[in-house]
Amino acid sequence: MNRDVHKPFQLCTGKKRMKTSRRQIASVVTVCGLVAAGLFAVSAPAQAAVLGSLKIAPGSGNLQTVISVSTPGQCDQGSNIKVIISGAGVQSATENIVGNTAITSYPTNLDGGFDIEFPSTLADYGTTQSPALTSFSGRYDISVICKNSFGATTYGTFTGSLYFSSGTAWTSTKPATTTTLTATPASSSYQGENVHLEAAVTPLGVAGTVQFKDGAVDLGSVSPAPTGVASLDTTALTVGPHILTAVFTPADALSFGESTSNSVSYEILTPAAPSVIAGASATGTYKVGYTLACGAAFQGASSTAYAWLNNGVAISGQTASTFYLSGSYYNRTISCTATGHNSYGDTPSTSAGHLIALGSKPTLRRAPVISGTVKVGKTISTSKGTWSLSGLTYSYQWKRNGKSIAGSVARKISYKVVAADKGKYLTCTVTVRKTGYASNSATTGRKKAA
For residue 19, give its domain range.
3-37
User: Given a cut of 90, is residue 206 above it in pLDDT?
Assistant: no
Residue 28 has pLDDT above 70, yes or no: no
- CA-to-CA distance for 12 and 6, rounded, in angstroms? 10
Q: What is the pLDDT of residue 252?
A: 86
Residue 35 confidence (pLDDT): 34
Rounded alpha-carbon distances, angstroms, from residue 285 to 294, 331, 359: 12, 14, 10
**Banded model confidence at residue 32, pLDDT cuts 50, 70, 90:** very low
Residue 180's pLDDT band (cuts 50, 70, 90): very high
**44 found inside a domain:** no
pLDDT confidence bin for 413, thresholds 50/70/90: very high
CA 58 to chain centre: 33
User: Is the domain of 57 the same as that of 147?
Assistant: yes
CA distance 193 to 12: 83
pLDDT at 6 > cutoff 70: no
What are the tens digits of pLDDT across the range 117-137? 999 999 999 998 889 999 998
Q: Indicate the pLDDT class of residue 84, thresholds 50, 70 and 90.
A: very high
301 and 341 inside one domain? yes
Instruction: Check whether residue 264 and residue 299 sit in a common domain.
Output: no
- 43 located within any domain: no
> Is the pTM higher than 0.85?
no
Q: Identify the pLDDT of residue 92.
A: 72
What confidence score (pLDDT) does residue 256 get?
Answer: 87
DSSP state of 351: P
Burial state string for 130-139 with b = 16 or more CB within 10 A and e = fewer than 16: eeebeebebb
Close Cβ partners of 263 (under 8 Å, ≥ 6 residues apart): 181, 243, 244, 245
If asked whether residues 56 and 130 sit together in one domain, one would say yes
The residue out of 355, 374, 407 marking a domain boundary is: 355
Q: Which pLDDT score is estimated for 148?
A: 95
Contacts of 450 (CB under 8 A, 6+ apart): 374, 375, 376, 422
Computed over every residue of the chain, the mean pLDDT equals 89
Mean pLDDT for the stretch of residues 299-306:
93
Lowest mean pLDDT of 15-24, 393-402, 422-431, name the range: 15-24
Boundary of a domain, candidates 216, 251, 269: 269
Query: Which helix (H) or strand (E) covers residue 219, if one does?
Result: strand 217-222
| Residue 146 CA: distances (Å) to CA of 56, 261, 264 | 18, 43, 51
Q: Tell me, yes or no, whether 242 and 331 share the same domain.
A: no
- Structural domain tally of the chain? 5
336 and 389 in a common domain: no
For residues 255-271, average pLDDT? 93
Show the CA angle centred on residue 397, arms to residues 396 and 398, nearest 5°.
120
Kindly state the average pLDDT of the residues 80-92: 90
* CATH number of the domain residue 320 falls in: 2.60.40.2700
**What's the sign of the alpha-carbon dihedral 6, 9, 14, 20?**
positive
Regarding whether 158 and 95 lie in a shared domain, the answer is yes
Q: Which of 124-128, 293-297, 401-405 has the lowest mean pLDDT?
A: 124-128
Look up the CATH number of the domain holding residue 125: 2.60.40.10
Q: Which residues pair with 101 in a beta bridge?
A: 81
Same domain, 210 and 292: no
From 208, 238, 269, the end of a domain falls on: 269
How many percent of the chain have pLDDT more than 70?
Answer: 89
pLDDT of residue 93: 54
397 lies in a domain? yes
Give dist(CA 199, CA 449) in Å, integer.
85
Judge contact between 210 and 247, C-beta under 8 A: yes
Same domain assignment for residues 161 and 125: yes
pLDDT tens column, 307-354: 999 999 999 999 999 999 999 999 999 999 999 999 899 999 999 999
Q: Are residues 54 and 142 located together in one domain of the fold?
A: yes
Q: Can you tell me the distance from the alpha carbon of 181 to that of 202, in angstroms, rounded to the nearest whole number?
A: 12
